[in-house]
Every structure is written in structure tokens, then in C-alpha cells.
Amino acid sequence: MELTPRENALIAYRHQTPAWIPCFYTDIILTQACPDMERYTGHTKGKDYFDIEWTYEPNIHAPMPTPGNIIFEEIEDWRTYVKLPDLEAIDWKKQAEIDTHTDFQAFVMGAGIVPFKDGSSIYDTNKLKVCMILNGPFERLHSYMGFENALMALAIDPEECNAYFETLFNWKIEYIKKIAEYYDVDVINFHDDYGAADRMFMRPELWRQIIKPHLKRVVDACHELGLIYQHHSCGYVEPILPDMAEIGVDAIDTLQACNTHLQELKKQLGDRLTFCGGFDNQHVLDVPGVTPEEVKKEYRRVIDALAPGGSYVIYPIGGAFDFVPAFLEEHFQYGMGFYANQH
């Protein structure tokens, strides 16, 4: 019997070799649970349920915390200013009906919150269902404090930061429990960025001290609920990939090209951690005027390096989408038959 896209993708998420390489654009369908709670979803300016103000940036098809809008500067003030949304105040049955009929891939590409044109829901497909959870606890911290203040807090008062993280991660776990109860999804895609283009935002040792134990609790909660845990972090995260595998993270994206040892790490960790992405957005895919030939060359570079042995998913998330037609053309010409041609 021929595999569905969902069944095929689940093989990759189990760290095995599927029939074809699962691709974000063809094999995965996205949803979010009450997206306005985590960040403003319009095209101008507005607030989320945490009272953070966001400004839409059309060049990246997404909002960013409004520059200069600092809620507090000292980490101990989080106890006064951080107001967690009341999860019990949301009509989750009604909200899930809205969310599962929303075209979130169109949303990611800048269309806003719009329903599927044919009136369908995520349950009407045979694709892998992924629920994105945006603005992880570290991202939330610098949306309150500003980036410099947040980084200084990590360095100066890690104990108070740990207390903040414990509270925020606890709230996230309760949020995930609501998703498990009201949404039928396969994967939780938990966003929390830990890396810049050439280094982590904090020392790996500090991440291990004050974030890793809490992140493990989220991973464990997902597994107890029968959900796959996929972590999203932009930037350089190579030093903590073994830690991700150690605490049970099932998959990691987007593995940008600044992580220069991905092929070696995939060989070491691929039996425990599914690699998603690996593409060079900054210098290839998101470059204005990138040619189809350049896109196809980048596609083959990544596939040849990371796809062997399975446990890999194509996840080319970036800020622009002009590359997609050439990318998909190469996917159907080269990627779809990659594993069959290896035998």
C-alpha cells in the first residue's frame, strides 16, 4: 500500500529512512492554537495577550516587537509585569474550529489570518499536522526587556532568570495540554531562538544551567501526551545539538547554514534527532534576484549532505519565498527519488 505524506513523514521523525524526503511545502500542514495570544497577527500594529506591542514588518511577512517598547529593565521586575494569559478563559472548542480551518502556510507567507479557500480544515488532508508555538520563554523575555537587558539579566542574575523560566515553561506546558485536548496534531513545533548568525546568545554552559532542564520538562510533557517535539531555533546552535538529543527532542529546525558541521553532527545524532532544514537563506534562498540555478544547487548541496540515512525533513523556512518554484521543481526532479536511487 502506498504511504500517505503523513505516514512517510512520521518515518523520518522516527529517525528512519522514508520512501521519499518529506518536504515542508508538500507533506506538512501547519496550525497554531489561538495565534493572537502569542503575537499580533495583523498587518499594522497591535498587542498580544501578554500586552506586548508588535509592529508588522512587510519585508519578512511577520510582526516584530515594536522597537523601544521596553516593559521593564530589571529582571526581578518580571514578577510585577509578566501577566500570563488565562488559558481557562478561552473557549478552546470554538478557537480550535477557527484555527484548524485557517491557512497558516498562507499566514507564514504574509497573507494574514485567512481560511482555506475551499473551506477545508487541516483534518481534510493526509499531511503531517504540525502546531507551531511561537515566542518561547527566552524570546518572550527579550520582548519584555529588550535584547540587551535580557542578555545582561542572564549574565548578572541567572537565579532570577531561572525563576522566570520556570514560570514561563510551566505556562507553556499547560498551553500544550490544551492543544493536545482540542487539536488533533502530530507535532509540536516549539519556537525559542538561542543563536545569532555566528554564536549563541548565551554561553552553552549557561543555556544548560537555566534553560535545558525546563526545556526537558516540555519535551517530556509532549511525549506523555503522544506528541512529537520539534524545536525551532534560528542561528548558530551546534554546541547544544547533542543536548537536544539527550533530553529527547525529536527534531530540530531550521539548522541554518551558519552551523557548519551539520553533516558530521547528523551522522552522530541522526538515530535520535531528526534534522530539519540546513539551507543557506542568508546567502542564497532569501537573496533578492536569486536564480533558479542557484536555488537548485543549494537544494542539492543540502540534500546530498543531510538526507542520507533518513531522519531528515526539508524545512527551508526564511523571510522570502521567491525561491519556492525552483526549489519545488528540484524537489520533484531530484529529492522525491533520492532514496529510491540510492538502492
**pLDDT tens for each residue of 105-115:** 788 777 888 99
Q: Mean per-residue pLDDT for 34-52?
A: 94
What integer pLDDT is reported at residue 159 of this predicted model? 97
Show the domain range for 68: 5-342
* Residue whose grid cell is 519585508: 59
What does the alpha-carbon distance between residue 275 and residue 255 come to, in Å, rounded to a whole number? 8
Phi, psi of 109 (to 5 degrees): -90, 10
Is the pLDDT reported for residue 343 higher than 70? no
Taking residues 210-220, report their average pLDDT: 98
| Mean pLDDT, residues 203-228 | 98
Instruction: Render pLDDT for 272-327 as a digit per residue (tens, 0 to 9).
Output: 999 999 999 999 999 999 999 999 999 999 999 999 999 999 999 887 889 999 99
61 confidence band (pLDDT: 50, 70, 90): confident
pLDDT digits (tens, 9 = 90+) for 109-168: 778 889 999 999 999 999 999 999 999 999 999 999 999 999 999 999 999 999 999 999
Q: What is the CATH number of the domain that holds 70?
A: 3.20.20.210
Number of domains in the chain: 1
Tell me the average pLDDT across 201-224. Answer: 98
Distance CA 225, CA 171 (A): 16
pTM for the whole thing? 0.97
What is the reported pLDDT for 318? 80
Mean pLDDT, the chain, whole residue set: 96
Contacts with 87 (C-beta within 8 Å, 6 or more apart), sequence order: 171, 174, 175, 178
Question: What pLDDT digit, counting tens, does each position of 251-260 carry?
Answer: 999 999 999 9
* Gyration radius (Cα) of the chain, Å: 19
Whether the predicted pLDDT of 1 surpasses 70: no
Output the CA–CA distances (angstroms, integers) from residue 341 to 11, 193, 308, in the order listed: 18, 36, 11
pLDDT score for 107: 83
